[in-house]
C-alpha cells in the first residue's frame, strides 16, 4: 500500500499528464482550424512533406475534430479526477489548498496558453500534431463512433460537411495579418479586407457627403442650366429639391436629361424627369446600406438627420471607396 506522500505525487503526476493531453487537444484544434486553403496551398507548393496529411485532416473535419473533442473531454475528466485525488491524498490542510489552487489554474490556464500559442504558430503546430492525430483517430475510432452515435440519439449530430465551423472576425483578421507577413496577401489587398470588416462598424454619417457640399438643383431650374451644373461638377446624378435642400423631391440622372434635350424637349420641368429619391437615416450601418443599394440597384441615397432634414448624401461609389481605400 502506498504511503500518503507517494499517493499525492502520483496523483499530481496523473494531473500533469491529463493537462498535457488537454493542452495538446486544444492546440491541435486551434492550429488545424487556422489552416485555411490559402495557407495549405502555400505549404503544398513549398513541398512540405506532412502538408498532404494536414490536407486530409482539413478535408475530413469530422474525423479530426471528433478525435480532438474526445481527447479533450477525456483529458478534462482525468484532470478533474486527478485534482480531486491529489487534494484528498494531501496530508496537510495547506497542501490541499495548494493542490486545489494549482489544479484549478492549470486546468484553465493550459487551454489559454496552448490555444494562444497555436493561434500564433498554426503551421508549425499543425505539422507537429498531424501524425499523432492521425494515429489517435485510428486508435480511438470505436469510441469516436460511440460518441457520434450518442450525439445523434441526443439530436445533436455533428456537422459532417465542416460548413458550420465559422471563423470569428478576430480569427479572420489574424489570418490576414499572417498572410501579409508570409507574402500571400499584398498590402493593398489587406487594406481592402480590413475595409470590409470596418463596414459593419461604420454608419452613414461618417462616409456621407455633408449637406454643405451637396451639389443639387432647384426643381424650377431650366434643363440647360441643370445640364451645365452636371457637366461643370462632373456628376452623373444630382438631387433635385423644392425651394430648400431639406425638401429633396427626387434625383436627376444626366442620361435622362440628355435624352429629353436630344429630342428637343428643352422646356420640360425637372419634376417630370426626375427619379424617386431613396432616403436613409444618418445612423444606418454602411454594410447594410451597401447591400440595400446593390439589391435595389440604386446608386445614390439621401441621408436625413433625426429631425427629418437633409444631412448629406452617399453614393455606392463612396461605399466601395471605403473598402478599396
Where helices occur in 90-186 by DSSP H, the ranges are 93-120, 122-139, 141-153, 169-181
What's the order of all strands across the beta sheet hosting 217-218? 217-218, 237-242, 244-253
Cβ count within 10 A of residue 22: 24
* pLDDT single digits (tens) 126-178: 888 888 888 888 887 777 777 666 666 665 544 444 443 344 555 556 666 66
Is the overall model pTM greater than 0.75, yes or no? Answer: no
Strands (E), the chain: 209-210, 217-218, 237-242, 244-253, 279-281, 300-304, 310-315
| Per-residue confidence (pLDDT) for residue 278, from 0 to 100 | 93
Q: Please provide residue 250's backbone torsions phi and psi, each rounded to the nearest 5 degrees.
A: 170, 180
Burial 253-273 (b: 16+ CB within 10 A, else e): beeebeebeeeeeeeeebeeb
pLDDT for the residue 202 = 80
Residue 2 pLDDT = 47
Using DSSP, state whether 110 is helix, strand or coil.
helix
Residue 121: C-alpha distances to residues 30, 47, 132 (Å)? 10, 19, 18
Domain 204-324: homologous superfamily in CATH: CBS-domain (3.10.580.10)
Low-confidence ranges of the chain (pLDDT < 70): 1-6, 8, 36-39, 86-87, 89-108, 147-200, 323-325
Closest CA to 309 of 245, 249, 252: 245
C-alpha to C-alpha distance for 204 and 289, rounded to whole angstroms: 8
Residue 206 CB neighbours (<10 A): 11
The whole-number pLDDT of residue 164 equals 39
Gap between the Cα atoms of 83 and 103, Å rounded = 6
Domain ranges of the chain: 4-168, 204-324
Q: Determine how many CB atoms are found less than 10 A away from the CB of residue 287.
A: 17
Amino acid at each position: 500500500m502506498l504511503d500518503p506522500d507517494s499517493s499525492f505525487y502520483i496523483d499530481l503526476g496523473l494531473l500533469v499528464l491529463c493537462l498535457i493531453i488537454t493542452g495538446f487537444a486544444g492546440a491541435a484544434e486551434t492550429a488545424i482550424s487556422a489552416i485555411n486553403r490559402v495557407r495549405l496551398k502555400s505549404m503544398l507548393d513549398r513541398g512540405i512533406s506532412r502538408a498532404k496529411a494536414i490536407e486530409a485532416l482539413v478535408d475530413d473535419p469530422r474525423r479530426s475534430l471528433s478525435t480532438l473533442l474526445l481527447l479533450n473531454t477525456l483529458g478534462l475528466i482525468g484532470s478533474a479526477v486527478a485534482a480531486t485525488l491529489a487534494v484528498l491524498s494531501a496530508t496537510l490542510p495547506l497542501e490541499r489548498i495548494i493542490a486545489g489552487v494549482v489544479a484549478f489554474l492549470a486546468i484553465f490556464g493550459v487551454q489559454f496558453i496552448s490555444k494562444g500559442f497555436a493561434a500564433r504558430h498554426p503551421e508549425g503546430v499543425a505539422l507537429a500534431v498531424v501524425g499523432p492525430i492521425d494515429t489517435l483517430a485510428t486508435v480511438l475510432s470505436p469510441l469516436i463512433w460511440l460518441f457520434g452515435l450518442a450525439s445523434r440519439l441526443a439530436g445533436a449530430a455533428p456537422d459532417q460537411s465542416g460548413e458550420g465551423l465559422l471563423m470569428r472576425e478576430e480569427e479572420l483578421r489574424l489570418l490576414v495579418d499572417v498572410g501579409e507577413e508570409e507574402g500571400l496577401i499584398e498590402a493593398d489587398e489587406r487594406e481592402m479586407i480590413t475595409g470590409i470588416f470596418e463596414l459593419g462598424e461604420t454608419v452613414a454619417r461618417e462616409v456621407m457627403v455633408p449637406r454643405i457640399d451637396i451639389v443639387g438643383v432647384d426643381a424650377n431650374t431650366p434643363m440647360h442650366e441643370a445640364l451645365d451644373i452636371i457637366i461643370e461638377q462632373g456628376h452623373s446624378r444630382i438631387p433635385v429639391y423644392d425651394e430648400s435642400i431639406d425638401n429633396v423631391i427626387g434625383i436627376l440622372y444626366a442620361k435622362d436629361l440628355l435624352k429629353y434635350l436630344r429630342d428637343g424637349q428643352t422646356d420640360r420641368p425637372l419634376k417630370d424627369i426626375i427619379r424617386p429619391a431613396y432616403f436613409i437615416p444618418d445612423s444606418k450601418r454602411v454594410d447594410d446600406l451597401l447591400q440595400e443599394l446593390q439589391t435595389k440597384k440604386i446608386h445614390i441615397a439621401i441621408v436625413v438627420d433625426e429631425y427629418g432634414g437633409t444631412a448629406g448624401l452617399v453614393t455606392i461609389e463612396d461605399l466601395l471607396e471605403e473598402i478599396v481605400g
